[in-house]
Amino acid sequence: MNLRRVVVTGLGALTPIGNTVEEFWNGLSNGVSGAAPITRFDASKFKTQFACEVKGLNVEQFIDRKEARKMDLFTQMGLIVADQAIIDSGLDLEKSNLNRIGVIMGSGIGGLRSFQDEVTDFAKGDGTPRFNPFFIPKMIADICAGFISIKYGFKGPNFVTVSACASGTNAIIDAFNYIRLGKADIFVTGGTEATVTEAGVGGFNALKALSQRNDSPQTASRPFDKERDGFVLGEGAGCLILEDYEHAKARGAKIYAEMVGGGMSADAYHLTAPHPDGEGAGNVMKNALEDAGMKPEDIDYINVHGTSTPLGDISEIKAIQKVFGEHAFNLNISSTKSMTGHLLGAAGAIEAIASILAIQNSLVPPTINHFTDDEEFDSGLNLTFNKAQKREINAALSNTFGFGGHNASVIFKKISE
């Protein structure tokens, strides 16, 4: 069976270090930290009092106030980045076959704020069941994809992927495969998450997953550093327009990169901890390489999951060294979560965008906040500490791993005829 080629023709980003793709890339290139004290609620009684919030966002600049009230923040952000990406792609929707355009948006948790607020209000009341009529539509994770479809009239496949922190990457892989198989010509895909809430911070604190470096939020996300103490919770959204190559070429679209492979695997090990030897992480990278028809030495850059947890960082590096062998020492490796924090279900989307822009700009974004070497990591590895590095990047791999042992990897490369 001849599989169709798939390219990236549009991007949209709303992140803790920039509310557009350009701002996001500038933040990454310059090693900007998005972490700061929480403003969305009073966090003074929580063990962790900071997060990577989206800053300066006025939703009503993008979405009518009446419509916005029907949406949780995660949906609002997903709509905003979809609009950015569609505009960026130059698609003429009046000339497009809307039956051949689909939407797949990942979200690990969905409308957590809406769920939390409705249940809290009910618990404070007299027991009479008074709920907002939009409570369920605001909460359910699929609703962002539904809103995008309704707004633009896209009538192709439409659903959400939920695989914790791998959700955004799984969405991209699904969209990629639908296009390869000829089931659609274009997909709006990515991830969105808005969990900087009392329930989000309190829940992750209870798991002992978050950094508690309240005295220095900006330096709290420190992947691969010996003193790393947990991830920093983030929020935001990322969107890619994936398109059949021939379709994109026929309409004269600009092409950022070609998506050439996607891999998935399961740790089958533990609810929250990664396999200590990185078995699942190794398998997913092998699967992505096999899917792309590439060898390990074809990869120049890996945007790692790299959350800044003691167990997660070392298991991923072990997996990279097993899969890539001696070539691991020729790679640039970096964790952009050191700047954005961990966007959970949206992480894979913004990190795919970071990987694509790294290829486009021949620049590897850094792993910031490195202060103390950890002897568990081979000193010969290039973890791109503290400063971006110029490098020709022909192909980049991006990893995302989720609670439950869900692993997903994607590979992008420079476009060639």
Cα gap 263→177, rounded to integer Å: 11
Backbone angles phi, psi at 316, to 5 degrees: -70, -40
The verdict on whether 239 is a catalytic residue reads: no
Residue 152 exposure: Cα atoms within 13 Å on the Cβ side: 31
Do 107 and 167 meet the contact criterion of CB atoms below 8 Å apart? Answer: yes
> Which residue shows structure tokens 């808005």?
194
Here the tokens at position 306 are: 């790299």
| Catalytic residue selected from 52, 144, 165, 239 | 165
Do 33 and 339 meet the contact criterion of CB atoms below 8 Å apart? Answer: yes
Angstrom distances, CA of residue 1 to CA of 248, 249, 313, 320 = 21, 22, 39, 31
Cα gap 161→264, rounded to integer Å: 13
Instruction: Write out the catalytic residue numbers.
Output: 165
